[in-house]
Amino acid sequence: MAQDRCDMSPIGIVHTPFTDTAEMPIQSVGGSDIEGNVEVFEEYALGLKDLGDFSHIILIYHFHRSEGYDILVKPFLDTEVRGLFSTRAPRRPNPIGISVVELLGIEGNVMRIKGVDMLDGTPLLDIKPYVPDFDRREVHRIGWLEGKADRAREIRSDDRFSGK
């Protein structure tokens, strides 16, 4: 049986005010007023054509400072240990993150964004337009996050996922 390939290379770099995970928003909703820039590498800049017509975009990126993972974790919004895949913890078998951010503008190969919750220097893997008709779902349950998810606006990161 042929082995599937999974080669990925960054298409850009996310620039933010955060050089350390301490006090960083734990979700993009918590950084709704925080701005940053996304530098798309020149060879991909033409792919930004028409993206400026969207108010929000989805950034897919690599948790570049994440090392290893634990299959059970204590998430930021809870005091109980949970299964990794029921959380958005950054230390994962494949350390990939996603954030929905507001697109403020594009100049050349640089996008200005708002709603930042990533570290400065984060490698960008992909960009997709956020389309409510495609991406928003009516949700009937949110598991252990019931009654806790709204706190993501205020909770800030600490070193629990630093691997230390």
What pLDDT was estimated at residue 82? 92
Asked whether the predicted pLDDT for residue 26 surpasses 60, the reply is: yes
For residue 158, being part of any structural domain is answered with: no
| CATH number for 133 | 2.40.30.70
The residue whose two tokens read 């701005």 is: 35
Q: Write the pLDDT tens digit of every residue in 122-140.
A: 999 999 999 988 888 787 7
Asked whether the predicted pLDDT for residue 34 surpasses 80, the reply is: yes
Asked whether the predicted pLDDT for residue 155 surpasses 70, the reply is: no
Name the pTM for this structure. Answer: 0.84
Average model confidence (pLDDT) for the chain?
87
Q: Where does the pLDDT of residue 69 fall: very low under 50, low under 70, confident under 90, or very high at 90 and above? A: very high
Q: Write the pLDDT tens digit of every residue in 89-122.
A: 888 999 999 999 999 999 999 999 999 999 999 9
What pLDDT was estimated at residue 113? 97
133 alpha-carbon distance from chain centroid: 21
Q: Where does the pLDDT of residue 31 fall: very low under 50, low under 70, confident under 90, or very high at 90 and above? A: confident
Q: Where does the pLDDT of residue 6 fall: very low under 50, low under 70, confident under 90, or very high at 90 and above? A: confident
**Residue with the larger pLDDT of the pair 111 and 159:** 111
Total count of domains within the chain: 1
What pLDDT was estimated at residue 21? 81
Calpha distance 99→59 (Å, rounded) = 5
Contact (Cβ atoms closer than 8 angstroms) between residue 38 and residue 110: yes
Give the domain extent around 78: 31-152
CA distances from 3 to 9, 27, 65, 92, 93 (A): 19, 35, 28, 22, 18
Calpha distance 123→14 (Å, rounded) = 6
Calpha distance 34→120 (Å, rounded) = 13
What pLDDT was estimated at residue 101? 95
Q: What does the CA dihedral 156, 163, 75, 80 come to, rounded to 10 degrees?
A: -130
For residue 16, being part of any structural domain is answered with: no
